[in-house]
Amino acid sequence: MRIATWNVNSVTARLPRVLTWLETTRPDVLCLQELKCADDAFPAEQVRELGYDIACHGTGRWNGVAILSKIGLEDIVRDLPGQPAYDGAVEPRAVGATCGGVRLWSVYVPNGREPGHAHYDYKLDWLAALGATVVADKAADPDRPLAVLGDFNIAPTDDDVWDISLFAESTHVTEPERKALAALRDAGLSDVVPRPLKYDHPFTYWDYRQLAFPKNKGMRIDLVYADAAVTAAVTDAYVDREERKGKGPSDHAPVVVDVDL
């Protein structure tokens, strides 16, 4: 099974690249984030022509998540159980489904903006709901493999940003955010991608400004957290940096994980 995650930063703007990538990389399941479109505007027809079933959850120009699957799409859940609201709205940031017997979540964790901001508190509350969802899913079916994929907006370690000294007062690297990832590990999940790769720092995000990508001033914030069954079955994992190149890319690159279950 090949599973992947990609913050596409507008699925309509990136559609030609997404379709070509699906044809060449051939994931069994692709989790998407930052769709920036409502469900009725999602390019479902073009995606279905490639053999994918679709579970999408979007409401407009911001946020939005989806799961595309060639191996089944069952027990679809939109939003985390108990997901907190921000400014009175429950944002479309999570969708879960069972694909080929594996429980998968596509998540787009709130950015947090800055420590002390209401959005930062919202981010921590949202992560707590994610942790509770993982615990509940595992309790409901302990033998069913599970993985959470997406844009976590957290760099797990100092090595996951290009220069930690520049992040002293910023989100993505604070102790409370990293404790939230630790809570996922306490729930039995592991970060499956940090393994020997073709380059020292497998960043997944580079700002569009100031030549960040050519200078490799990036962050690793797109993650795959999986339970013991999935983690033990991983045969390969990589960041597809090629998709950050060329004309009109997302500012994120896809993360691909091959699993022999």
For the annotated binding site, the residues are: 7, 34, 151, 153, 251-252
Q: Dihedral through CA 136, CA 121, CA 148, CA 248, nearest 10?
A: 160
- Burial (0-12, 13-18, 19+ Cβ within 10 Å), 23: exposed
Binding residues for Mg(2+): 7, 34, 151, 153, 251-252
> Which residue has 């993505």 as its token pair?
172
Contact 184, 131 (CB under 8 A): yes
Nearest to 239 by CA among 25, 1, 13: 25
Nearest to 104 by CA among 133, 63, 62: 133
Does residue 141 have an active-site annotation? no
Contact 193, 237 (CB under 8 A): yes
**Cα–Cα distance measured from residue 151 to residue 170, given in angstroms and rounded to the nearest whole number:** 17
Tokens of 65: 């998540």
Catalytic one of 52, 108, 122, 205: 108
Nearest to 1 by CA among 236, 252, 240: 236
Backbone φ and ψ of 95, nearest 5° = -145, 135
Does residue 252 have an active-site annotation? yes
C-alpha pair distances (Å), 31 with each of 3, 176, 189, 223: 8, 26, 18, 11
Does residue 120 have an active-site annotation? no
Contact 4, 30 (CB under 8 A): yes
Catalytic one of 151, 160, 222, 227: 151
Please identify every residue annotated as catalytic. 108, 151, 252
